[in-house]
Structure 1
Amino acid sequence: MHLLLRTLVLLFTSSRRSPLSIWDTASLPLKVLPTDIDIAMHVNNGMYFSLMDLGRFDLMARSGTWKAMRRRGWSPVAAGETIAFRRSLHLWQRYTIETKIVGLDEKAIYFEQRMVADGEIYARAFIATRLVSKGRPVSQEDILREFGAPPADLELPEWIHEWRETNALPGARRPAPHVWA
């Protein structure tokens, strides 16, 4: 619940920060709060993804994408995530969440996000996202028509294709029985 309020505040304040293109890199300054940490007094590993949501919302709000999505009835959902940790973020530590789109394919929009403190990467994640409307995926054609073509040099790294292929679950309309192999 604490991130719901934080997200609403962020959407309000981000729209008043300097505007960006959806294809730019957004930098969101934050501080580690008591609600972000675990018993070891550092950011909980699961919390990184929740905090990274804030970075993506910041980019969407500052680029005008969030308003356009809401107007069209589109909602963002995560389809896959992977993260690597290098150092721990501790209580009251200042850091930034750096967010940028690194590519698209026929099914997803891919973000790279970094937690950065003192010029050093503390954690890095790649997130595959989809836009949905009324429970169905929004086509990439509709997305690009609404938000414009990506930069010509934007090319999704090959390893991301492999990661998505080997990590993907069946679509929600296909069975995915729980059986340990």
Structure 2
Amino acid sequence: MNLYFRLFWLFAWRLRHISPIGFLDTSRMAYRVWPTDCDINLHLTNARYPALMDIGRTYMLAEMLQLKPLLKLKWLPVVNASEFTFIKDIKPLQKFCLETRVLGWDDKYFYIEQRFVSERGLHAIANVRGLFVCKGRKISSAELISQVGFSGAEPELPSSVAEWKTMLQRKKDENSHNS
């Protein structure tokens, strides 16, 4: 239930008070771990990370001033794959920041890094691969880049993300006979 409250807060309050960022800049959103976010180990439950990341990516689009235009076009973001590395727990009532940024893209997908950070340091880092769809059609990265008006150089993906991308393709190839 508190995720609905956080989503409502994002749309009703936070989006009215954003500071615009560039397409490759880092978006930062502050959170606090509520008791309802915790598991039996009394820390932020692993299931909460992806839900908070969804809100973080939505907020990043809003800070880029792209959320409303993309929704008007009916372009909806879809996660294709994600991977997490948990480093240290986040305790109940602890404040932390979710940092979200676009790492790069290929013809089809965007690669986004999301980091959970507090005064205690880095807690978790996740990579997300996603794309936009509209009425069943996949929006190419080139089309999205054109729509958002980004004219800078395409960044090179970090080697760990390039390796992850290769592993995802290998996984798809190895399991293509099962589909």
Taking structure 2 as the reference length, the TM-score comes to 0.88
Instruction: Please state how far the C-alpha of 1:148 moved relative to its aligned partner.
Output: 2.3
Counterpart for residue 164 of structure 1: 165
Secondary structure of residue in 1 paired with 2:131: strand
Identity of aligned pairs, percent? Answer: 30
Task: Provide the TM-score with structure 1 as the length reference.
Answer: 0.87
- Tell me the CA shift for residue 69 of structure 1: 0.9
Amino acid at match of 2:142: E
Shift of 1:38: 0.8
Closer, same or farther: CA 108–71 of 1 in aligned 2, 3 Å: same
Please give the per-residue CA displacement for 1:14-44, whole angstroms capped at 9, x wherever unaligned. 3422121232111111100122111111111
The reply to whether residue 55 of structure 1 matches residue 19 of structure 2 is: no
Residue 99 (structure 1) aligns with: 100
Number of matched residues?
A: 176
RMSD of aligned Cα (Å): 2.3
Give the secondary structure class of the aligned counterpart of 2:81. Answer: strand
- Displacement of 1:158 in angstroms is 3.4
Question: Which whole-Å CA distance do the structure 2 matches of 1:128 and 1:55 have between them?
Answer: 14
**8 Å contact from structure 1 (residues 11, 58) kept in 2:** no
Query: Which runs of 4 or more aligned residues in structure 1 lie more than 4 Å from their structure 2 counterparts after TM superposition?
Result: 168-171
The runs of 5 or more residues in structure 1 that have no matched partner are none
Superposition map of 1:107-146 within 5 A: 107-118=108-119, 120-146=121-147
Tell me, yes or no, if the aligned pair for 1:32 and 1:89 is still in contact at 8 Å.
yes
- Cross-structure match for 1:10: 10
Shift in alpha-carbon separation, 1:74–1:177, aligned structure 2, 3 A: same
Query: What is residue 152 of structure 1 aligned with on the other side?
Result: 153
